[in-house]
Amino acid sequence: MLQQQPKIYLDFNSKAPVHSYVKQALFDYLSSDENRELANPSSIHEAGRSARSLDRSARDSVIGSLHLDLKQFSLNWTSSGTEANQWVIRTALVHLLKKKENPIWAVATDVHDSVRSMIPFWEEQGGKVTLIPVDSHGVCDFSSIDSADFISVLWVNNETGVIQSLKPFAHLQNEKPLLHIDAAQSWGKLCPQTEEHLKVFDYITLSGHKRGAPTGIGAVVRKSPLSPWILGHQEGDLRGGTENLLGIVGMKAASEIQFDSTHVEEFRNQLQFQILSLDPRIEVFGKESSRVGHTLFFGCEVWADHAVPYLDLHGFEVSSGSACSSGSVDASPVLLSMGKSPLMARSGIRISLPSDPNDCIFQESEVWVPRFIEAIKGLLGNRVS
């Protein structure tokens, strides 16, 4: 019988726990003596105006965290990154169908499931889809785009952590296609210099809980119009429903957190070295590409639907890739798009670390890392023959 050990949470790409700075901001907000900011932002009385001011400040803070011009970009709240992505895609389709028949959507093969699942809808409505391939290292071949009216790109892959270069889009001027970038996994995890090419994109989608905000808040940062999504007068008559002020407060606080990922990347690389040293057949996906420092995705020819519960029983909470599809035992579409075998595509184990180098995960690593390596050794005895 396994000895009970403290659980080690290594699934921050699925959901980062609410950050301590965000918790304090939420506590201060909820315990305000006057509660002037607890009102409905649509109300015209003083308390409503106070809430509306907080809302506007949060929008500016999130846009500013991306180093974008507040005069060029605006922000609309959503309930999640998934909603943000699908709102943008439907907007592009509605807009383009008014201008031409069979608009072409170029979409990378490694996109998040919330984007990939919209492909049948686009085609059912009369649009055409072109898939942008990725190579064996997870890098998109944007030169393959021959013609497109709308392009969707995942900046940082949620499974491999591979960062796509935005330089191919930097010099697009007038007559360019509509550009959408899913920045859910990259927000707050890349240096400002990396973000300089963001300004060319029409739509940038974000998810709060990937950066330490509560679940239930996301955003579309944009310089092009959005189509109405939910009937109602909120969000400029685009998305009805009272604003989620708790989520907005959390989103604002999360946008103010600054991380130095140098230590996190060094730790990831050391852990990666130990794992690779166990067996030459272990493969780290995207290892030769530019990756965010907190993600490590590897395969060891053990079915993920066995590996993840096995590691859970040994005290380690990891995932087999995207949490939006990890309830399935199907092969990872991301790994298949990278040309991996069906076996390897079903054996992915993702470790995703906190972005905060002061997190207890790093402080307690001398205790849990040896246990984790031993658990991986035990896992290797269950390879698919």
Question: Which backbone phi and psi does 284 adopt, to 5 degrees?
Answer: -95, 120
Tell me the pTM: 0.94
Domain 8-17+259-380 has CATH 3.30.70.141: no
State residue 327's pLDDT score: 52
State residue 301's pLDDT score: 87
State residue 196's pLDDT score: 74
State residue 197's pLDDT score: 82
Question: Average model confidence (pLDDT) for the chain?
Answer: 91
Residues 66, 187 contacting (CB under 8 angstroms):
yes
Read off the tokens for 277.
Answer: 């040293």
Torsion of CA 184, 188, 191, 192, to 10 degrees: 90
Tally: H helices and E strands in the chain: 13, 12
Phi-psi region of 141 (alpha: psi -120 to 50; beta: other; left: phi over 0): beta
pLDDT per residue over 235-254, tens digit each? 999 999 999 999 999 999 99
pLDDT band at 125 (very low <50, low <70, confident <90, very high): very high
pLDDT per residue over 366-379, tens digit each? 999 999 999 999 99
**Residue-wise over 44-62: b if at least 16 C-beta within 10 A, else e?**
eeebbebbbebbeebbebb
Query: Can you give the residue ranges of every domain in the chain?
Result: 8-17+259-380, 20-255
Would the CATH topology of 8-17+259-380 be identical to that of 20-255? no
Percent of the chain's residues with pLDDT above 70? 92
Residue 297, pLDDT > 60, answer: yes
Distance CA 185, CA 14 (A): 9
State residue 159's pLDDT score: 96
Residue 326, pLDDT > 50, answer: no
Stretch 95-119: mean pLDDT, rounded? 95
Q: Which residue has the higher pLDDT, 261 or 175?
A: 261
Q: Which amino acid makes up residue 331?
A: A
Q: Which residue has the higher pLDDT, 51 or 61?
A: 61
pLDDT band at 17 (very low <50, low <70, confident <90, very high): very high
Stretch 115-142: mean pLDDT, rounded? 96
Residue 20, pLDDT > 60, answer: yes
pLDDT per residue over 263-279, tens digit each? 999 999 999 999 999 99
Residue 141, pLDDT > 80, answer: yes
State residue 328's pLDDT score: 54
Domain 20-255 has CATH 1.10.540.10: no
Stretch 155-166: mean pLDDT, rounded? 95
